Amino acid sequence: MDTSFFLAWIKEAASAVQAERDHLTQLDAAIGDADHGANLDRGFAAVRQTLADTPPQTPGGVLVQAGSALIRKVGGASGPLYGTAFRQMGRALGDAPEITPADLVTALEAAQEGVQKLGGAAEGDKTLVDAFAPAVRALAQAVRDGAKLEDALETATAAAQEGAQATVPLQARKGRASYLGPRSVGHEDPGAASTALIFAALRRAAGQA
């Protein structure tokens, strides 16, 4: 995977967020404050802009720059969290020009660790971690098992989507939804839903490569 692969991922993610903007916002309206779609869409638009204005030369450069733009433009809880995720991934990749599936796993594990350290959420707290963590685990397993990249990412995406769906019956313990206590049960977490979109975008980027 080279720089253009990661640029393709960002582009796919940005399109997906834009397309699902209203859906994400409506999920957030149910148990949050109705801005998650608008937040991420604003953020990914800025990411696209900065990548177009000053195109980075390495995969790590793409991800750090994307993460910084998210931190700079999103605000809310998701801005620092997703921003940190992309930045940590990028930092883990250093300035390597070509990334192996194993590198990708390492980078995503770093991202997850960054998110959890910053936000303090564990799996089961009904946050984006509930989609992120199983996706990273599934990817790691598939790569260890020697699966083709596309297939590995297919598995990871499925795990993210299942993870997002599995937030429905949970009671939130982090973020804004936690204020609702038991009333947060019965709704999908918006951040988990957007994480699933981002993994699906990664899968599509691999399909194009």
Partner 1 sequence: MKKLINSVDAIVTDTLRGVAAAHPSLRVDFENRVIYRRNAPHQGKVGLVSGGGAGHEPLHGGFVGYGMLDAACPGEVFTSPVPDQMIEASKGVDGGAGVLHIVKNYTGDVLNFEMAAELCADEGIEVASVLVNDDVAVQDSLYTAGRRGTGATLFVEKIAGALAETGAPLAEVARLAQEVNERSRSFGVALSAGTVPAAGKPTFDLSDTEIELGIGIHGEPGRTRTTHREAREIARLAMDAVNDDVPLSGDTLVLLNGMGGTPLLELYIMYGEVAAYLEEKGARAVRCLVGNYVTSLDMQGFSVSVCRLTDELTRLWDAPVETPGLRWAADRPHG
Provide the CA 112 distance to its chain's centre, in angstroms: 9
**Interface with ligand ADP in residues 128-167 (CB under 6 A):** 128-129
Q: Which is nearer to ligand ADP, 23 or 176 (CB)?
A: 176
121 part of the interface to ligand ADP, by CB under 6 A: yes
C-alpha pair distances (Å), 196 with each of 2, 23, 31, 99, 168? 23, 13, 18, 22, 14
Q: Which is nearer to ligand ADP, 58 or 78 (CB)?
A: 78
Shortest CB 169 distance to ligand ADP, Å = 15
Shortest CB 128 distance to partner 1, Å = 12
What is the DSSP secondary-structure string of 24-76?
Answer: HHHHHHHHS-S-HHHHHHHHHHHHHHHHHHS--SSHHHHHHHHHHHHHHHT-T
Shortest CB 74 distance to ligand ADP, Å = 7
Contact letters for ligand ADP, residues 97-116 (x by CB under 6 A): ------------------x-
Q: How far apart are the first and last CA of the chain?
A: 8
How are the residues of the chain apportioned to helix, strand and coil, as percentages rounded to the nearest 5? 75, 0, 25
Q: Tokens for 83?
A: 């921003």
76 part of the interface to partner 1, by CB under 8 A: yes
**Interface with partner 1 in residues 167-186 (CB under 8 A):** 171, 173-176, 178-181, 183
Shortest CB 41 distance to ligand ADP, Å = 10
* Maximum Cα–Cα distance across the chain: 48
Give the interface segment with ligand ADP, choosing from 11-19, 77-85, 94-102, 158-166 (CB under 6 A): 77-85
36 part of the interface to ligand ADP, by CB under 6 A: yes
